[in-house]
Amino acid sequence: MRIRIVDAFTDRPFHGNPAGVLLLDSFPDDAWLQNVAREVNHAETAFAHPLPESGEADWALRWFTPVTEVDMCGHATLATAHVLASTGSHEGPVRFATRSGLLTATPRPDGSLTLDFPTAPLTPVTAPDGLAEALRAEPLSVLDTGPQVGDLLVELADEKTVRGLAPDLRALGRHSRRGVIATARAEDPSAGHDYVSRCFFPNVGIDEDPVTGSAHTALAPFWSGRLGSPALTGLQASARSGHVRTELRGDRTLLSGRAVTVIDGELLA
């Protein structure tokens, strides 16, 4: 069967967040799916198969890290929508049935794709004991992102602090279900982004995720409230880097970006 590696939230190969994408006739057993994701060894591998035309969704979609299945993944959803559009497997907006409910992806005339995801509920919390030591930076505020995202959102002093983080990942994993989103306001908004972030997910086998769509369902309401605009652009300042355009629409968040296929091959197992 065909397997593709797609770099998401970028228009250049070897940037953004890579995801494996497999279009199937149906889902094999979970052990096989997990083994493929472990072999691909990217943050997520997406598996999708078409659904009957009469249903509310067009494709079923699941996401696996190298160690576990996850409830939500933005970049692998974008990668899957890109493969469907670029191969002619699906035309126009596509509706995915997922563990996070119905998610849609809409191609745009400029070549980008827009995902419609649930907005993460944000609840201010007291910084857990040891969080600052694990991050090796002092939080300005800490928020819980709810059960679907499963992270702590941690605001830091400035962009320089976020870019310079070198956390104790083992210690960091003790403080949330998936991991920690570190963020700060952009130092220079004229550089093309309004805020920066980095995402550390040691509990699902991802020390640092290059560009995290699901995290932006929490970053969008946080920064839209702080900056007074529903439409913003986030830069995830990982080594690979990538931009996510966000638009807050109440209980839904639109995530927009581009994707590029870098490997198109055959899975023999």
Spatial distance between the Cα atoms of 130 and 153, rounded to a whole number of angstroms: 15
Spatial distance between the Cα atoms of 206 and 255, rounded to a whole number of angstroms: 21
Contact 194, 186 (CB under 8 A): yes
Residue 185, judged by CB atoms within 10 A of its CB (0-12, 13-18, 19+), counts as: middle
Amino acid at 12: R
Spatial distance between the Cα atoms of 46 and 98, rounded to a whole number of angstroms: 11
- 91 is a catalytic site residue: no
Spatial distance between the Cα atoms of 137 and 161, rounded to a whole number of angstroms: 7
Q: Which residues contact 174 (CB under 8 A, 6 or more apart)?
A: 130, 134
Q: Which of 44, 155, 159, 208 is catalytic?
A: 44
DSSP annotation of 128: P
Residue 268, judged by CB atoms within 10 A of its CB (0-12, 13-18, 19+), counts as: exposed
Spatial distance between the Cα atoms of 79 and 17, rounded to a whole number of angstroms: 9
Contact 143, 122 (CB under 8 A): yes
Helix or strand run (H / E) with residue 146 = helix 146-149
Catalytic residues: 44
